[in-house]
Amino acid sequence: MLVNDTIAAIATGMGNAGVGIIRISGKNAVEVASKVFRPANEEKKIESMKSYTAAFGQVYDGDKELDEGILLLMRAPHTYTCEDVCELQCHGGMVVLRNVLAAVIKNGARLAEPGEFTKRAFLNGRIDLSQAESVMDLISAKNDFAVKSSLMQLRGDLKNQIIDMREQILYNVAFIESALDDPEHYSLDGYPQKLQTIVDKLGDNVDKLLQTFDNGRILKEGIKTVIVGKPNAGKSSLLNMFLGENRAIVTDIAGTTRDTLEEVVNINGIILNIVDTAGIRDTEDIVEKMGVDKALEFASQADLILYVIDGSVPLDDNDKQIISEIKGKNVIAIMNKNDLQTVVDKMWITCELGCDIVELSASTGDGKEKLYNLLNDKFFSGELEYNDQLYITNARHKEELMKTRESLLKVRESIDMGMEEDFFSIDLMDAYEHLGLIIGETNRDDLADKIFEEFCMGK
Ligand code: GDP
């Protein structure tokens, strides 16, 4: 399916900047650009400009000059969308950009929908669905590691693995079908054993990808963190200490809702999404005790629990309740108020929880480096080992891989039970389809529509 009209949008961020770009893509992109842009060199004709060349000139709406800037012309098919693309690099003010966009639309382009440029790259076959999704991930990446992971996916690493697995499956389905149709030329003797080895290998492959999901999700979305501790232990002070210097810039991406009770901090590249239980107390007017219960409820689903202990007073029932509930989870104990006399037995906590313990003062910030280093060690040496491995970061991909796994297991069961070969094909085809959904090799337009709806404008 090829789309024929010409689309345009502001491709750069909203706000005042030195340069802002209007992107135009489609069959008439060059014609539209030539109606609004006049090269300073009057000899120069936009229509005859070569691909990947630029011209300096003025942007006009009829006879009204809107701005001066550069026109960059890229011809199909070697462009982001595989169509003719013109980019008008103007001054970055919002009024200027809106005026230029309005002129472009008046002269034959249509306003692009969010993600429509990337959608065209997909529909025109330049990228697959997993690569298109990685563009979105790249834009919203919150740290260097997430960028690296998205780039690998954009390069097609996931696509290539999926294509490879689908080819093997299709070959075997074709073989089974041929043998059933034409038993004289294709023999199925000993085939189930061969297929068993192939299915087991495919299953291992899928499992390996699935195993990367938790780390991938953490890289992409951050570590879901909850701070627990009895009232006055210093939870808010700790959160403020984090926020003081590390508050992450969170861009709102269409389709993703930001929990208003979550604070995002970036500690040397590690993103912590901290559920602000203090905020919950304030907004819902819940009494202190419920603050602890609520925090524990969140803790049960957290990737990381920061347990704040007031080291200057003895442990009490609240602490005991917390300790019993967080035992065995991924916890860092923080012995707070170390600027005061410490009365809590550090060893006892370590033995009881079997976790790391850090002493610091949330109000002075003293000792915080030890906590930051520990976080770093914890997540990049062992528990979250970042290397050149491909990570599954997208929940949709995980879902399809799990369904692929189920279908492969059914094939395996049919082989074990000595079923007829045509039973194998049905489940093999299911696995083939689920893998296809990851890269968009499917007739389901609704799937692509749903994914591109979540993109931002101009991409
Ligand atoms: P929360 O109820 O657990 O959120 O505790 P807060 O962060 O509100 O802190 C309770 C009290 O302890 C406040 O008066 C803080 O100023 C104080 N506090 C927090 N951290 C420290 C610390 O490291 N040293 C000292 N001396 N006081 C602290």
Domain-located, residue 459: no
Q: Is residue 94 part of a domain?
A: yes
Residue nearest to atom 18 of ligand 1 (CA): 234
For residue range 219-247, what is the model confidence (pLDDT) as tens digits? 777 788 999 888 889 988 898 898 886 65
| Of 357, 380, 403, the domain-final residue | 380
Judge if 371 and 224 occupy the same domain.
yes
Same domain, 46 and 122: yes
Which residue has its alpha carbon closest to ligand 1 atom 9? 234
**CA 376–ligand 1 middle distance (angstroms):** 25
The CA 363 to ligand 1 mean position distance, Å, reads: 7
- Residue 1's pLDDT band, with cuts at 50, 70 and 90, is very low
pLDDT-derived band of residue 138, with 50, 70 and 90 as boundaries?
confident
Residue nearest to ligand 1 atom 17, measured at CA: 234
User: How confident is the model at residue 74, as a pLDDT?
Assistant: 98
**CA–CA distance, 344 with 314 (Å, rounded to integer):** 6
Q: Any known ligand binding at 254?
A: yes
CATH at residue 206: 1.20.120.430
Report whether 23 belongs to an annotated binding site.
Answer: yes
Q: In sequence order, what DSSP letters do the residues of 396-447 get, joined into one string?
A: HHHHHHHHHHHHHHHHHHHHHTT--HHHHHHHHHHHHHHHHHHHT-SS-HHH
**296 alpha carbon to ligand 1 midpoint, in Å?**
20
Which tokens sit at 238?
């700790």
Q: Which atom of ligand 1 is the closest one to the Cα of 360?
A: 23
178-224: pLDDT as tens digits: 888 888 888 888 999 999 999 999 999 999 999 888 777 777 777 88
Tell me the sheet residues that pair with 22.
10, 88
The mean pLDDT value of the chain amounts to: 85
Determine whether the annotation assigns residue 279 to a binding site.
yes
How far, in Å, from the CA of 436 to the mean position of ligand 1? Answer: 54
List the CATH number of the domain containing 109: 3.30.1360.120
Any binding-site annotation on 255? yes
277 is in an annotated binding site: yes
Q: Of 331, 350, 380, which residue constitutes the final position of a domain?
A: 380
| Within-domain flag for 184 | yes
Is 232 annotated to bind a ligand? Reply is yes
**Which of these, 88, 136, 119, lies nearest to 3 by C-alpha position?**
119
Pocket of ligand 1 (CB under 6 A): 229, 231-237, 278, 336-337, 339-340, 361-363
Same domain, 300 and 354: yes
- Would 34 be classed as within a structural domain? yes
Q: What is the pLDDT of residue 15?
A: 73
The pLDDT of 104-109, averaged and rounded, is 96
- Together in a domain, 208 and 221: no
Distance 174 CA to ligand 1 centre (A): 69
Q: Are residues 230 and 368 in the same domain?
A: yes
Q: Which CATH number belongs to the domain containing residue 260 in this structure?
A: 3.40.50.300
Instruction: Specify whether 291 is located in the same domain as 315.
Output: yes
Nearest atom (ligand 1) to Cα of 229:
3
Q: Where are the alpha helices (DSSP H) in 70-128?
A: 94-106, 116-123
Backbone angles phi, psi at 58, to 5 degrees: -115, 150
Residue 244 located in a structural domain = yes
Write out pLDDT tens, residues 29-47: 999 999 999 999 999 999 9
Q: Is residue 141 assigned to a domain? A: yes
Predicted confidence (pLDDT) at residue 111 exceeds the cutoff of 90: yes
255 & 279 share domain: yes
Tell which wins on pLDDT, 427 or 250: 427
- Residue 104 covered by a domain: yes
Q: Residue of the nearest CA to atom 15 in ligand 1?
A: 234
pLDDT at residue 258, as a whole number: 36
For atom 24 of ligand 1, the residue with the nearest CA is 337
Q: Given ligand 1 and candidates 336, 363, 364, which is best to mutate, with the most ligand atoms within 8 Å of its CB? A: 363
Q: If you measure from the C-alpha of residue 179 to the centroid of ligand 1, how many angstroms do you get, rounded to a whole number?
A: 75
Last residue of a domain, one of 380, 404, 426: 380
Domain containing 253 equals: 217-380
Please check whether residues 27 and 137 belong to one and the same domain: no
pLDDT in tens, 243-265: 886 655 444 333 333 333 678 88
Report CA(237)–ligand 1 centroid distance (Å).
Answer: 6
Number of domains in the chain: 3
> Rounded to the nearest whole angstrom, what is the distance from the C-alpha of residue 233 to the centroid of ligand 1?
6
CA–chain centroid gap for 116, Å, is 18
- What integer is the mean pLDDT of 110-130? 90
Residues whose CB falls within 8 Å of the CB of residue 341, separated by 6 or more in sequence, listed in order: 312
In this predicted model, what pLDDT tens digit does every residue of 57-97 receive, in sequence order? Answer: 999 999 999 999 999 999 999 999 999 999 999 998 889 99
Residue 262 near residue 281 (C-beta atoms within 8 A): no
- Report which secondary-structure segment, H or E, holds 166: helix 157-181
Cα-to-centroid distance, 410 and ligand 1 (Å): 57
Q: Is 51 annotated as a binding residue?
A: no
What average pLDDT score do residues 386-411 get?
87
* Structural contact between residues 276 and 263, judged by C-beta atoms closer than 8 angstroms: yes
Q: Is 333 annotated as a binding residue?
A: no
For residue 213, give the nearest of 395, 403, 440 by alpha carbon.
395
Whether 207 and 248 share a structural domain = no
Do 173 and 313 reside in the same domain of the chain? no
- Same domain? 30 vs 12: yes
**ipTM at complex level:** 0.99
Which atom, in ligand 1's list, is nearest to the CA of 291?
2
Tell me if 44 sits within 8 A of 141, measured CB to CB: no
State the average pLDDT over residues 116-121: 91
Q: Which residues pair with 350 in a beta bridge?
A: none
Q: Give me the pLDDT at residue 387, please.
A: 53
Residue nearest to atom 10 of ligand 1 (CA): 232
Distances in whole angstroms, Cα of residue 29 to Cα of each of 37, 50, 51, 101: 12, 14, 13, 13
Q: Is 332 annotated as a binding residue?
A: no
| pTM (2 d.p.) | 0.63
- pLDDT score, position 251: 40
